[in-house]
Amino acid sequence: MDQREVQEAVQAGEAALASIQRAREKLESAKNWGIFDIFGGGMISSMVKHSRMDDASGYMEEAKRKLTAFERELKDISISAELSVEMGNFLRFMDTFMDNIFVDFVVQSRINEAIAGLDDVSGRVRGILAELYPLLQD
């Protein structure tokens, strides 16, 4: 196997992991603000929560691009993987203008789902990288 191609795949995977981690950190912050919002935080906590969600969304878009690059590099070394991350933005309007505990719980659930999705794809990327690292030493 071509060392240069393996190295490129490893670099692409590590770059994707970095973006995933940044998105996860922002979602964790949004989750914490969401908990505060559920217990009466009001409009300010909703705004901060959504700011963190917007930041996470940007990192998730970056992660999508980097995961696509990683998949492309993996194909170069005959490894197939389907890696994707998603985060819906439909609830922003509802949460900001219908600030009530029911909507807050739904938004919190979506944040948790996004975190779980990031954890899943992160684990898969780490698994692939664990297979690639030994190939660099051949």
CA distance 19 to 30: 17
Q: What mean pLDDT do residues 46-73 have?
A: 91
For the chain, give every domain's residue range: 3-137
pTM of this structure: 0.84
Q: Looking at residue 92, what DSSP letter applies?
A: H
In 3-state terms, what secondary structure has residue 18?
A: helix
Percent share of the chain, pLDDT over 70:
88
CA distance 64 to 125: 13
CA distance 136 to 115: 31
Residues 6+ apart with CB under 8 A from 33: 41, 45, 48, 49, 52
Q: What is the pLDDT at residue 73?
A: 94
How many other β-carbons are positioned within 10 Å of the β-carbon of residue 68?
14
pLDDT tens for 77-94 read 988 888 877 655 544 544
